[in-house]
C-alpha cells in the first residue's frame, strides 16, 4: 500500500491521510473556490455555501460506486440518495432538491436499474425530497463496473454548525453503532453468514429535530475511514484534542466478529447513517433524548479538550491510552 | 444495434429515440419530480427549476466519460465544466457555482489528473464561475475507464425560455458549424490527419449578451445526437414542425470529409459549444449581430411552422425534402 509520486493509487481514495493530501493538492489548482460571500472548496466541508438574496444555500455532490450494488440493508440507489441528503443535513441545511446522474454499463440488466430507481423513489418519498434533474450515460462493457451514480443536492441552511467549531468542553456523541455499513458489505462479499445490515439511511428526519436545539457545534456523518477519520477531521479542523473511551463506542457483536475475522477495525470502517456531534454540556440531555428516540444505541463517547491539538486519543478497553489514527488507506475494495 | 427488452445497450445512451424511451421509463418510476412551485424531472429539460424566496434557481447535472480524454480543442475537464455551464445558460440561468466530482482509476498518471484540473481552472476563470464543492473517488483498475467526471451546477434564472415554447413563425438559428466535437474526436481516435477541433466552449459569455434581447423562445445546445436530435426535441416538445435548408447549415469542410469517410452524418454528431435558437422575426437581426460577433459561421437555418407536428423537415442540397430524424443510436463509442 505504498504511495506513488507519479500514479494515483487506491490509497488516494480511501478516506485517510493519503486522500486528504491528494485532494488538497487538487483543490489548490482551482483558483475560484467560492462565491464572494460564500464558503467553498478550500474548506473541504460536506457542502459549499453561497448566498442568494438573504438565504444561505448549500450545494453538495457525491459519486457512488459500490460492490455489491445490492447489499444487506440497502443498495447503491439508497446509498446515493441518502449520502447526499446527509451531506446537506450535517451542514445544518434543509435539503430542497437532488439531481441524479447514472453511468450504466452496456449489458446491465434493466430490472436491476429499475430496482435501484425504485429504491431511490422510496427514499425520496420517505424524506419528502424531490429529484428535479438528471442525466443518464451508457458506456461500453468494461468501461464502468455495472453502475456509477452521482447525486448532487441543494439545501437552505437553517442552523450554523461547522466541523471547524468543536470547542474544548464539548461532549462527543455518536448516534448508533459504528462500522455496520462497511462490515456488512465485506461480509456479503466474502460470503459470510451474518445478520449485520448496513446502517445506510437518510438523516434529515433526525437532524430536522436536532436543529431545534441550541448548542450543537459540529455535526458530521462518518463515511469512508469510519469514526476514526471523522473524529480526526474534526480534531484537525477545530484544532482541538478529542478524547474517547472505547467502552462507550457502540459496536455490534456481529460487526466485531466480522472485523476480527478480516482484520478490519470497526472504528475505521464506513458508516452511512450515523452522526457524530460535538455539543455543549447544557444541551446534551435534550440532544440525547432526540437521538435515542431514533436509535437506542446512541452514546456519549467522549469529550473535547484543548490539547493535543488535531489529535484523537482513545482510552482502550484495557485502560491504556493511544492515538486513534485515521486509516492511511483501506486494504479492501470500495464500499461507498 | 437491436434494442433489448432485458438488457441495457449502448443505444439507450446514444442521444436518440432509444435513449428518450429508456429515460422516460426511468423517470416514470420517481414520484417526487419537482418542488411545489418548480419544474422538474418530468420536463426532461437541461435543468430543474425551484423557487427560493422570489428567485428561480436552476439545478443541473451531467456526467462525462470520453475517449480520448485529451482531444483537439479540449479535454474531459473543459467538457465537464462547459457542459454544465451550458446546461444552465440555455435555461436562461446565470451560473452561480459548480460542483465537481471525480471517479479515477487506480494507476492513472497524476500529471493527467493535474492537467485536467488546470483545464477546469482555466474555464472557471474565463467564465468567472467558481467550483464550491467536490468529491473524489479512486476505484480499482478496470472499474472505470481512466476518469469519469460529474459536474452539477446552480444558477439564477434571468430569462424565461423553454424548448416547449418554439412558435410557428419563429426563425431557427445555429450559432456555428455543427458536428465538430464528435468528428474531431473520431478523427483523433482513428488516427486521421485533420485540423478539425472540438467546438467545446462555455456559452455563458454569449448567452449573457443574448438575454438582453427580447424574442428568444427556445434555446438549446446540441450535444449527443447532434443538431438532428436537438431540432427533433424542440419540434416534439413545442408540438410544431421545423423546416431547415441543408445549404444553410454550416458544416466545416474537414468535418464533411471525416463524416463521409466514416459514414457519420455531421448533423447527427455531437457539438459541445453551439446554440440552436428559435426567435421571433423582429429580433432576428439583433440576435444575429450578437452571435456573429462570437462566431462568423452563425446562420439562419430555417423556420418553425404549425405542421407536421413534432417533425423536422430538411430541404436537401439536391432540392428534395425529407424528414431529418434523430439518430436511433450511434455506431461508435461515447464521445461526450
Cβ atoms of A39 and A49 within 8 Å: the answer is yes
pLDDT at B43: 83
Name the minimum distance, in Å, from the CA of B199 to any CA of chain A: 21
pLDDT at A12: 82
- The residues near A172 (Cβ < 8 Å, ≥ 6 apart) are A231, A242, A244, A276, A277, A278, A300, A301, A302, A303, A304
Nearest to A148 among B103, B109, B133 (CB): B103
pLDDT category of residue A4 using cuts at 50, 70 and 90: low
The CA distance from A29 to B322, in Å, is: 50
Joined together, the cell numbers standing for residue B272 give: 459541445
The CA distance from A62 to A80, in Å, is: 8
pLDDT at A2: 47
| Mean predicted confidence (pLDDT) in A263-285 | 96
Handedness of CA B160, B165, B169, B172 (dihedral sign): positive
pLDDT at A333: 55
Task: Say yes or no to pLDDT of B237 above 90.
Answer: yes
Cβ atoms of A298 and A288 within 8 Å: the answer is yes
CB contact under 8 A, A6 and B110: yes
Q: What is the largest CA-CA distance in chain B?
A: 57
Q: What is the DSSP string of A45-56?
A: -SSEEEEETTEE
Question: pLDDT (tens digit, 9 = 90+) per residue, A191-239?
Answer: 988 999 999 999 999 999 999 999 999 999 999 899 999 999 999 999 9
pLDDT at B17: 76
Q: For every residue of A166-189, which 3-state class applies, written as one string?
A: CCCCCEEEECCCCCHHHHHHHHHH
pLDDT at B259: 95
Nearest to B12 among A138, A156, A333 (CB): A138
Question: pLDDT (tens digit, 9 = 90+) per residue, B51-65?
Answer: 998 999 999 999 999
- Can you list the domains of chain B with their CATH numbers? 171-323 (3.90.650.10)
The CA distance from A22 to A20, in Å, is: 6
Strand partners, A189: none
Question: pLDDT (tens digit, 9 = 90+) per residue, A31-77?
Answer: 999 999 888 888 888 899 999 989 999 999 999 999 899 999 999 99
Tell me the pLDDT of chain A averaged across its residues: 93
Q: Would you call B219 helix, strand, or coil by DSSP? A: strand
Joined together, the cell numbers standing for residue B194 give: 485533420
pLDDT at B2: 47
Tell me the pLDDT of chain B averaged across its residues: 93
CB contact under 8 A, B138 and A9: yes
Task: Say yes or no to pLDDT of A1 above 50.
Answer: no
CB under 8 A, 24+ apart: contacts of B32-39 = B32/A121, B32/A124, B32/A125, B32/A128, B32/A129, B32/A130, B32/A131, B33/A130, B33/A131, B33/A132, B34/A130, B34/A132, B35/A96, B35/A97, B35/A130, B35/A132, B38/A97, B38/A132, B39/A132
The percent of residues above 70 in pLDDT, for chain A, comes to 96
pLDDT category of residue A84 using cuts at 50, 70 and 90: very high
pLDDT category of residue A336 using cuts at 50, 70 and 90: low
Residue B271 CB neighbour total at 10 angstroms: 29
Residue A134 CB neighbour total at 10 angstroms: 24
pLDDT at A245: 98
For residue B111, CA distances in Å to A24, A316, B65, B72, B171 come to 15, 43, 18, 19, 47
Instruction: Answer whether B30 touches A (CB < 8 Å).
Output: yes
> B104 φ, ψ to 5°?
-115, 140
**pTM score over 0.90:** yes
Cβ atoms of A136 and B47 within 8 Å: the answer is no
Higher pLDDT, B225 or B279: B279
Residue pointed to by grid coordinates 445549404: B247
Task: Say yes or no to pLDDT of A3 above 60.
Answer: no
* Class of residue B263 by CB neighbours under 10 A (exposed 0-12, middle 13-18, buried 19+): exposed
> Chain B: residue nearest A117 by CA?
B29
Name the minimum distance, in Å, from the CA of A290 to any CA of chain B: 28
pLDDT at A14: 72
pLDDT at A45: 84
The percent of residues above 90 in pLDDT, for chain B, comes to 80
In A140-169, the residues whose Cβ lies within 8 Å of chain B are 140, 142-145, 148, 150, 152, 154, 156
Task: Say yes or no to pLDDT of A140 above 80.
Answer: yes
Q: Is the peptide bond before A308 cis (omega within 30 degrees of 0)?
A: yes
pLDDT category of residue B330 using cuts at 50, 70 and 90: low
Amino acid at each position: 500500500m505504498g504511495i506513488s509520486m507519479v500514479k494515483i493509487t487506491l490509497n488516494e481514495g480511501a478516506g485517510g491521510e493519503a486522500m486528504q493530501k491528494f485532494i488538497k493538492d487538487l483543490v489548490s489548482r482551482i483558483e475560484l473556490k467560492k462565491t464572494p460571500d460564500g464558503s467553498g472548496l478550500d474548506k473541504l466541508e460536506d457542502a459549499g455555501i453561497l448566498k442568494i438574496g438573504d438565504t444561505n444555500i448549500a450545494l453538495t455532490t457525491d459519486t457512488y460506486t459500490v460492490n455489491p450494488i445490492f447489499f444487506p440493508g440497502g443498495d447503491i440507489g439508497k446509498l446515493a440518495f441518502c449520502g447526499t441528503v446527509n451531506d446537506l443535513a450535517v451542514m445544518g441545511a434543509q435539503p430542497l432538491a437532488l439531481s441524479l446522474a447514472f453511468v450504466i454499463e452496456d449489458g446491465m440488466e434493466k430490472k436491476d436499474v429499475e430496482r435501484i430507481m425504485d429504491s431511490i423513489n422510496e427514499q425520496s418519498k420517505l424524506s419528502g425530497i424531490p429529484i428535479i434533474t438528471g442525466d443518464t450515460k451508457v458506456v461500453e462493457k468494461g468501461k464502468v463496473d455495472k453502475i456509477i451514480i452521482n447525486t448532487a443536492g441543494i439545501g437552505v441552511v437553517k442552523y450554523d454548525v461547522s466541523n471547524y467549531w468543536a470547542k474544548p468542553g464539548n461532549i462527543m456523541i455518536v448516534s448508533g453503532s459504528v462500522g455496520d455499513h462497511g462490515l456488512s458489505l465485506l461480509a456479503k462479499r466474502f460470503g459470510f453468514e451474518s445478520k449485520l445490515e448496513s446502517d445506510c439511511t437518510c438523516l434529515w428526519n433526525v437532524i430536522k429535530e436536532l436543529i431545534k436545539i441550541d448548542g450543537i457545534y459540529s455535526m458530521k456523518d462518518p463515511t469512508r475511514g469510519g469514526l476514526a477519520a471523522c473524529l480526526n477531521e474534526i480534531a484537525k479542523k477545530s484544532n482541538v484534542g478529542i478524547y474517547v473511551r472505547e467502552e462507550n463506542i457502540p459496536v455490534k457483536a456481529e460487526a466485531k466478529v466480522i472485523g476480527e475475522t478480516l482484520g478490519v477495525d470497526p472504528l475505521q470502517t464506513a458508516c452511512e447513517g450515523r452522526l457524530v456531534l460535538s455539543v455543549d454540556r447544557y444541551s446534551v440531555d435534550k440532544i440525547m433524548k432526540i437521538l435515542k428516540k431514533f436509535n437506542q444505541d446512541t452514546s456519549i463517547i467522549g469529550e473535547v479538550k484543548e490539547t493535543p491539538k488535531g489529535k484523537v486519543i482513545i482510552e482502550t478497553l484495557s485502560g491504556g491510552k493511544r492515538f486513534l489514527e485515521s486509516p492511511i488507506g483501506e486494504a479492501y475494495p470500495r464500499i461507498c
